[in-house]
Amino acid sequence: MPGFPYLNGLPDILSIPRKVTPSLQVKTGSVAIAAGTCGIYPQSSPGGWYVLGNCPVPLFNREREQPFLLSINDQVEFYEVDQSIFEDLEQNLNPLDINKFKNG
């Protein structure tokens, strides 16, 4: 799937196998784990990973000059945010501007 990042470096405690029965629909932005890897669904799709949370920042957008937010060897950090911050990011983020999320 275009823009689906496979992130390594999970602690062993989070290394679980894929689901026996995949979900028919996983929401865009879902942060999920399986088989020692973490991934973020760039668009809604079926999936066999366990969802831990959701990312309001769009990872893939064909309209951007650089359609993929992440590149090979990027380091990704996850932060817990409350519902109001999540909704603000989701509703007010310019989907074409990725610069504020690159390098800090």
Is residue 69 scored above 60 in pLDDT? yes
**Residue at 24 is within a domain:** yes
Residue 103 has pLDDT above 60, yes or no: no
CATH number of the domain that residue 91 is part of:
2.40.100.10
pLDDT for 10-44, tens place per residue? Answer: 899 989 999 999 999 999 999 999 999 999 999 99
**CA-wise closest residue to 89 among 33, 29, 25, 42:** 29
Please indicate, yes or no, if residue 103 is contained in any of the structural domains.
no
Tally the domains of the chain: 1
Strands (E), 1-104: 6-7, 23-26, 30-34, 37-40, 45-47, 50-54
Output the pTM of the full model: 0.83
Domain presence at residue 1: no
What is the pLDDT, as a whole number, of residue 101?
60
pLDDT at 39: 95
The reply to whether 49 falls in a domain is yes
pLDDT at 95 over 80: no
pLDDT band at 7 (very low <50, low <70, confident <90, very high): very high
Predicted confidence at residue 96, as pLDDT, reads 57
For all residues of the chain together, what is the average pLDDT? 87
Q: Is residue 84 part of a domain?
A: yes
* Domain with 37 in it: 6-98
In a domain, 48, yes or no: yes
**Over the stretch 37-58, which tens digit does the pLDDT of each residue have?**
999 999 999 999 999 999 988 8
Is residue 104 domain-resident? no
